[in-house]
Structure 1
């Protein structure tokens, strides 16, 4: 098995009773890669993660890890670690004993266990807290304990379920850095599940965008952010003005509208709010809302094309509610989409 397909999902189909949650999913993950499964609730990302961990039966298809078919292998023999969203720590045990728990179940004891556990605790920066019980720790510290507890087992794949969702904004930033550091230093193949596009873009080597139990697009963070292939992905990563394109015209709620320099062989065009040329263009709309966002001011315009979201430098004079403003949708600043649906 090559490193290019260290973890292989081959035609994976998963179901809850008669309801299919994931169908015919194919995915190859490289050794040492950090991959995000990104998508809205119900898209199949957590179900896929549970199947890899052995917590979800496979209806059809295969899961192959490092050349070994683990599709029917019990969870405790898969060499797959899983950090739950809730951390699932033992509140009556110290940090040391939480991290040591799995090793003790495998029969390790004495100096070898102590050395291994202390090294794992040190790797996540918690050496001063080894003898504290977990309720005495902050949310970020508890997340690190959960990470160390999985890492100490030396899994071939480590999976994290919404790893930062329970943390406040400042701690999320700190833990992003910590997760990247631990993953790169250890070289473990890591998969994390998230519905937060910012988190996926900041952390992952590659992002797998899922929709309705299937893969919508796979790419680097730069690919997903700058070159979405479908309206679904574009909307998910912040393109808020999306229109189908037909015969060089935008298809809008108000009818078709010609657009200059429209590219050929494109199903749709999408603009981020900042890509809308506010105050300059052939279209016009009425300001229905305005919000200050630090360096920029965000506007919602009521237009014949439908609602348009635009953004302008906050240093520019603000438009008032009810003002009529012109705007343009330059084809050069749009993302070209292969699929509109």
Structure 2
């Protein structure tokens, strides 16, 4: 069984001058895991990645990798690869020379170099592109070159900064598959930073949701998607109807509201995805203020005494006109129960 604490951050505090970006962060990542650091801008995810890479010295705390304290080890001696958001390829060098660059710095030459570079390019499907320059490649191909350049160095951990953000929708899907394939085939521990919950849910074995320099929730994609523990996480992964509870009743701008069935006594809040809202029947009423066609579904924005409610129904269902009044319900059984709110 692999070490669940292969990479361990112990009470890590990171700062830029007097501004603390991450405070007392504790995190353990297992060998061979594919992990996402997910959160909005300013949450501390990129700062944490920079500290792991050795590009930022911690104010306090420790970073341990494979049983060794690397907190003060220089970046070039950490056996950690980093794929930048911009790829950072040398435009005047061929694909071969880009991938070979780090190996040459380590003194590798001749047949050993050719074999390592060739294997790296083959692993990302670019064996026939070694003579091209980066400007002759698509964005997805450039991403693969950057990945191969890091992988040939045989890193203990590979870090990726917003790896898919520069690609169009089709290429993002293609590169998701490619990253998963390379990671599973090589077994490298991979950590990627993203603000895109869809990307994190699709790629990661485990997701670390960050907020205000700390960890809000850790879990599998299924945990994060179906069982958010806080209002922030719920909103971030698409529960667009999020309410605090007050004595088992929904807390709204117009006062407490009783639900059709009792809320869990332990819950601090409840959250519903638009699809979970019952539209056309129920104890509440709202006025249609917005509607949009979304392919297989139709989305509605209702103006209600509870506040704005977003609902989603099958596209084949009857269309409700702007300004019409609709009954609706928020079934407790379809809600995510939040352990904390605010």
TM range (shorter): over 0.9
Which of structure 1's runs of 4+ aligned residues deviate more than 4 A? none
Paired residues for 1:79-90 under 5 Å = 79-90=79-90
Task: Tell me how far apart the structure 2 counterparts of residues 312 and 256 of structure 1 sit (CA, whole Å).
Answer: 27
Deviation at 1:2, TM superposition (A): 6.5
TM-score by length of 2: 0.99
CA deviation after TM superposition for structure 1 residue 189, in Å? 0.1
In the other structure, the counterpart of 1:300 is: 301
1:160 Cα deviation from its structure 2 partner: 0.1
Find the aligned partners of 1:120 and 1:217 in 2 and give their Cα distance: 35
Q: Distance between the aligned counterparts of 2:341 and 2:274, measured in 1? A: 19
Task: For 1:172 and 1:77, locate their aligned partners in 2 and report how far apart those are by CA, in whole Å.
Answer: 32
Corresponding position of 1:257: 257
Which residue in the other structure is 1:121 paired with?
121
1:332 match:
333
C-alpha deviation, 1:262, in angstroms:
1.2
Question: What is the distance in 2 between the residues matched to 1:202 and 1:108?
Answer: 37
Distance 2:131 2:313 in 1: 53
Question: How far off is 1:261 after superposition?
Answer: 2.3
Question: In structure 1, what is the equivalent of residue 21 of structure 2?
Answer: 21
Alignment of 1:234-253 (within 5 A): 234-253=234-253
Please state how far the C-alpha of 1:254 moved relative to its aligned partner: 1.4
Q: Does 1:39 align with 2:39?
A: yes
* 1:136-160 deviation per Cα after TM superposition (whole angstroms, max 9, x unaligned): 0000000000000000000000000
Q: Which residue of 1 aligns with 2:91?
A: 91
Q: Partner of 1:194 in structure 2?
A: 194
The DSSP-based 3-state class of the residue aligned with 2:128 is helix
Partner deviation per Cα, 1:190-245 (whole Å, 9 max, x = no partner): 00000000000000000000000000000000000000000000000000001111
| Shift, 1:26, TM fit | 0.3
Q: Distance in 2 between matches of 1:130 and 1:108?
A: 18
Is 1:137 paired with 2:137? yes
SS of the residue 1:24 aligns to: strand
- Counterpart CA distance in 2 for 1:2 and 1:221 is 21
Q: Return the TM-score normalized by structure 1.
A: 0.99
CA 1:326–1:165: 2 relative to 1, 3 Å: same
The corresponding residue for 1:317 is 318
CA distance in 1, matches of 2:84, 2:291: 39
User: Matched residue of 1:31: which SS?
Assistant: coil
State the 1:128 CA deviation. Answer: 1.1
Count of matched residue positions in the alignment of Structure 1 and Structure 2:
341
Q: Distance in 1 between matches of 2:225 and 2:281?
A: 26
Instruction: Give ranges in structure 2 of 5+ residues lacking alignment.
Output: none
Report the Cα distance in structure 2 between the residues aligned to 1:307 and 1:32, rounded to whole angstroms.
Answer: 43
Partner in structure 2 of residue 272 of structure 1: 273
